[in-house]
Structure 1
């Protein structure tokens, strides 16, 4: 079974893993605290997209938001360290970080490096336009965005180092949450399916596997030949 860690606003109790670890929340000081209901609904939406793509997936939530969609590098870094520090049998193969911070912070950069060095794939949201954010801009972190041109099964490469995917775009009549954060969740879903079928992937392998499936490159749609 493919295991996914979701660092977000929390999620439904049904996403608890039956291994004694379950969900964990992190306070402003980076310390573990009591998990609260998902007041924003964002983490629940992200988990729902991943599970829609790969129903058997096991999801573990690291809660870094409270009543508002505001967090810090310290809280996110603590969540990353908790996930990568889990026993090997419980450690996620994939981590979905459907958020981005404007500033580069050493505590976040170092936590991402530890996690990816452990062979885990970290997918982080990247804005469709404008400047990059963190941790999507870090080495070995898979930068993901939403692309309104993509249907549910499509992937794109709007920039050479960014993968785009379905993002619940209102341009297709969708309602509710959308954008880069939802695109990141969809890309995690793509990877979960790939890993369930073919085995786990290292960070660089994951990017290449997605890139090979991209049917939309830059501003134009074009089909790639597959050998």
Structure 2
């Protein structure tokens, strides 16, 4: 079974992991506690996309924000270190981080370096247009975004170092959450499904495997009103 770590707003109430670790919340005061309800529904939406792609996956949630989509480099770094430091039989085979921070912070960069050293791929959100963010901008992190050209089974390469995927785009008649965060979940789902078939792989190998499956190369031509 492929194990995925999701760093977000928490997960569905139905999920319970009775292994002494469970789902954890990394709070603004620096403390760690059992994860609470997903008040925003964002982490649950990410969870749903990954499970649709790889139904047998085991997902462990690290909650880094509650009722507002606001977090810090320190909270995300603590979540990365927790997931990467779990016992081998519990440690995720990949991590999905469907968010990005505007500033490059050493605490976050160092946590990503440690994760890369553990050979755990990190898929992180990157804006479809405009300035990049972190940790998607760090080496050995798989930067991902949404691409309205992509159907459920498609991948794209809108930029040389960014993967694009299905993102519940309204241009395809979809409703609800979408954009780069859902595209990131879809890239993570692609990777989880590939690992389930082909075996676990480290970040650089995962990047090349995903890149080799891209159907669309080059930037998406977006209308001015597209989000």
Query: What TM-score do the two structures reach when normalised by structure 2?
Result: 0.95
Query: What TM-score do the two structures reach when normalised by structure 1?
Result: 0.95
Structure 2 residue aligned with 1:17: 17
- Secondary structure class of the residue paired with 1:76: helix
Q: How many residues end up aligned between the 2 structures?
A: 221
Looking at structure 1, the residues matched to 136 and 15 of structure 2 have their Cα atoms a distance apart, in angstroms, of: 25
Runs of 4+ in 1 over 3 A off after TM superposition: none
1:103-137 alpha-carbon deviations (Å, 9 max, x no partner): 00000000011111101010000000001100000
1:172-203 alpha-carbon deviations (Å, 9 max, x no partner): 00000000000000001000010000001110
- Secondary structure class of the residue paired with 2:6: strand
Looking at structure 1, the residues matched to 44 and 106 of structure 2 have their Cα atoms a distance apart, in angstroms, of: 29
Structure 2 residue aligned with 1:224: none
Structure 2 residue aligned with 1:50: 50
* Ranges in structure 1 where 5+ consecutive residues have no aligned partner: 222-227
- TM-superposed CA distance for 1:220, in Å, is 7.1
Looking at structure 1, the residues matched to 220 and 130 of structure 2 have their Cα atoms a distance apart, in angstroms, of: 19
2:16 equivalent to 1:37: no
- TM-superposed CA distance for 1:88, in Å, is 0.5
Structure 2 residue aligned with 1:148: 148
1:120-175 alpha-carbon deviations (Å, 9 max, x no partner): 01000000000110000000000000000000000000000000000000000000
- Secondary structure class of the residue paired with 2:14: helix
